[in-house]
Amino acid sequence: MKKSNSTRVKAPTNRQTPLPQSLQVAEHHDASIPNPIGRNDGPPTAGRTPDRAPIGRTVVDTPDGKRAFLNAKCTISIGTWNVRTLHQEGNLEHLLHELSHLKWEVIGLSETHLCDSGELRQEGIQFLCSGNDTTHREGVAILLNKAAQRALIGYNPISERIITARLHTQIGAITIIQIYAPTSASSDEDIDSFYDQLQQAINQIPSQDIQIVMVDFNAKVGTDWESWNGILGKFGLGDANDRGERLLNFCALNDLCISNTLFKQKKDSREWTWESPDGNTRNKIDFILINRRWKSSISMSRSFPSADIGSDHQLVHANMKLRLKAKPKSARQTRFDIEKLKDKNVREAFKVRIGGRFEPLLNATDTDVDAEVLWDGIKSSFQETSRKSLVQ
């Protein structure tokens, strides 16, 4: 196969090259830093610690239980959006303006075209960025509102195509992965490398975590929900292609389902996620995936055509609230008051009753009586007699 221009995913490394002035790693969880595209509005806020946080992983103070941003009472909103670029003048402001009209807690971005990796703040929003080391290509980011910031445990900018963030929930933690997959022009080698790196990221997630994978996969999964029951919902779009089949197999391997195929939409514009430049072709190639165990926690997942940043992709949005299965109530254990046996009358009555129940068992002549049956009879005799004589 003829190899096209490669966008091969680089393996994660311990990158220690200082970030440019326009994108400095936050030294402290509450520090303010300049905006990401070089238009500094003033000096950084005081309060940074002298030593810089290591690039590649940032851990923040553990919030208490009240700061868990996902629980069984309140609905949160998450989303993913291919924004085409945030490197051009004014695009960041445009993005923030569009998001200001929506309710959201976490938004994943792909194709940001921002270099290097780190975290930054703008208008109260925290950006966790993972970019290309040298060129304004690819790039992913996770945006957190204030509630999500308070729940942040840590994040890991793995490559220019993959970033993860872990946040506290009512029951533990949720790991969110934002992805930008290689385009259709990429070589098979690039795609294989990408999937290998993605699987490594999945394997590192604690098994008890809720997993959300938000992605521009450049893949069409089709509508064959019967063949992919539990993974693909009844409301896919179009015909699956080879890359869609690979995505479905990836979901099956990792027990994930595609949330924005689970719900019937009132308008066709809420179904598709990408539109060709001439407006004649529309596909569903951006997805929000979740563990099948937690799919009932997704109450809505769809495209948002009203949000517009000049991209050929639509914002994909999902509402989520923990759905917890009630534990079956165990039978109440009867408590016996053995102190009552100190009373002579109670003690004598107990002896008479237990003796009457034991007599048939002691006089049994059948040597083939099963030991378990015999034990059940003895246990039942004690329990019934105790209920009549010794209940508190």
pLDDT digits 0-9 by tens, 371-384: 777 777 777 777 77
With H, G, I as helix, E, B as strand and everything else as coil, classify residue 48.
coil
Contact predicate 120/23, CB 8 Å: yes
- 20-57 tens-digit pLDDT: 344 444 433 333 323 333 333 333 333 333 333 333 44
Cα 157 to Cα 23: distance, rounded to the nearest angstrom: 14
Q: Which two tokens stand for residue 372?
A: 């378990």
What residue ranges do the domains of the chain occupy?
A: 58-320, 338-389
Query: What's the pTM?
Result: 0.69
DSSP letter, residue 115 = B
Cα 9 to Cα 138: distance, rounded to the nearest angstrom: 10
Contact predicate 193/8, CB 8 Å: yes
- CATH superfamily ID and name for 58-320: Endonuclease/exonuclease/phosphatase (3.60.10.10)
Q: What's the average pLDDT block by block, 10 residues per block, for the chain (392 residues)?
A: 41 37 38 33 35 39 61 94 89 92 96 90 95 88 96 96 96 96 90 95 96 92 96 95 94 97 93 92 96 96 91 95 75 72 78 72 62 74 75 66
